[in-house]
């Protein structure tokens, strides 16, 4: 209904305006429409909505001392507030609400929380303090995939690790080369306690591959396959042990060098592993006489004398030493 104005006539009391009854009817109809527009009816203004100089005040479902006031701030220009054309709720910046079908353009999320499947626990995505902005780039996925985390037990596929630091790595069956071919195969032993130790070196020293483990004595096996052989491309060097006075042969070191100007009295115990070899060189001027606890073909203990500049070696068969070779000084 358009607003109804009261006709006051041309001049005062000239009888040309609305009658008192018609004027009162117009007033009533104007107020009735205002009441209806404010949520009431033609007879009673709604108690749920009032207007103040602060804005529009909405009473809740219970008439009490708590209301909601819709107020406008002080804009720096004209602003149009458009309500969605659906039955819904307005979104508050502090209320706990569930949003559906929303597109957020360049949002700033302080603490991201993601519910688990049963919504009884949450993943809390926490950012560290940055010195500058950083981009996290997601790969172009060809199928569904999973994030990789530092402490989670996960299986990685098709990954290239550049300069990784692996403190205690586990290898399933092999280490492959760049073409995917096996380079080193690994066979696991149940309850293993012994292993190999690989050590690098600084300038002037040699790297090493040695036996290591919980056992006191650990041998190192180097084997070929089938009728193949172990090929050594460069010269072989035996670790040496010097004897410059009377004493016992060190059976843990392959080469004993006698170096004395007078005679030496040396003892040699039984070997410990079948096939072990012991080498001797006398570069001194005194004869070194080795008393062997078990020497095959002679009454034991037996002696073997190495004169100046003589050399030789013995092999252990599991019960006795064999004098396999001995040079004679000319």
Distances (CA, A) of 11 to 14, 20, 52: 6, 16, 38
Kindly report, residue by residue over 152-162, the tens digit of the pLDDT. Answer: 999 988 888 89
Whether 247 is in a domain gets the answer: yes
Percent above pLDDT 90 for the chain = 59
CA–CA separation, 220 vs 212, rounded Å? 9
Whether 37 is in a domain gets the answer: yes
Whether 91 is in a domain gets the answer: no
How many domains, in total, are found in the chain?
2
Whether 292 is in a domain gets the answer: yes
Whether 20 is in a domain gets the answer: yes
Whether 80 is in a domain gets the answer: no
- Confirm whether pTM is higher than 0.75: no
Residue 273 sits in a domain of what CATH number? 2.60.120.1230
Whether 208 is in a domain gets the answer: no
Domain span at 322: 240-326
Whether 129 is in a domain gets the answer: no
Kindly report, residue by residue over 186-215, the tens digit of the pLDDT. Answer: 999 999 999 999 999 999 999 999 999 999
């Amino acid at each position: 209904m358009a607003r109804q104005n009261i006709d006051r006539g041309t001049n005062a009391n000239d009888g040309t305006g609305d009658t008192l009854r018609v004027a009162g009817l117009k007033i009533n109809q104007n107020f009735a429409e205002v009441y209806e527009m404010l949520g009431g009816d033609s007879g009673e203004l709604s108690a749920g909505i009032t207007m103040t100089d602060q804005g529009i005040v909405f009473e809740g479902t219970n008439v009490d001392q708590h209301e909601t006031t819709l107020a406008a701030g002080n804009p720096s220009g004209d602003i149009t507030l458009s309500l969605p054309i659906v039955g819904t709720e307005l979104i508050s910046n502090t209320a706990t609400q569930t949003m559906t079908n929303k597109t957020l353009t360049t949002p700033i999320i302080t603490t991201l929380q993601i519910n688990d499947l049963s919504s009884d626990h949450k993943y809390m995505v926490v950012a560290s303090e940055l010195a500058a902005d950083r981009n996290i780039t997601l790969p172009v996925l060809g199928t569904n995939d999973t994030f990789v985390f530092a402490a989670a037990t996960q299986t990685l596929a098709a990954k290239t690790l550049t300069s990784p630091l692996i403190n205690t790595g586990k290898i399933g069956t092999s280490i492959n080369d760049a073409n995917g071919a096996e380079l080193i195969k690994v066979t696991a032993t149940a309850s293993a306690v012994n292993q190999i130790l690989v050590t690098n070196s600084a300038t002037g020293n040699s790297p090493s591959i040695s036996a290591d483990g919980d056992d006191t004595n650990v041998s190192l096996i180097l084997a070929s396959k089938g009728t193949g052989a172990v090929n050594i491309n460069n010269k072989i060097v035996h670790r040496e042990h010097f004897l410059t006075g009377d004493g016992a042969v060190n059976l843990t070191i392959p080469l004993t060098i006698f170096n004395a100007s007078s005679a030496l009295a040396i003892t040699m115990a039984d070997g410990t592993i079948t096939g072990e070899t012991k080498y001797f060189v006398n570069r001194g001027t005194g004869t070194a006489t080795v008393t062997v606890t078990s020497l095959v073909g002679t009454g034991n203990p037996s002696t073997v004398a190495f004169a100046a500049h003589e050399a030789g070696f013995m092999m252990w068969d599991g019960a006795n030493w064999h004098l396999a070779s001995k040079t004679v000084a000319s």
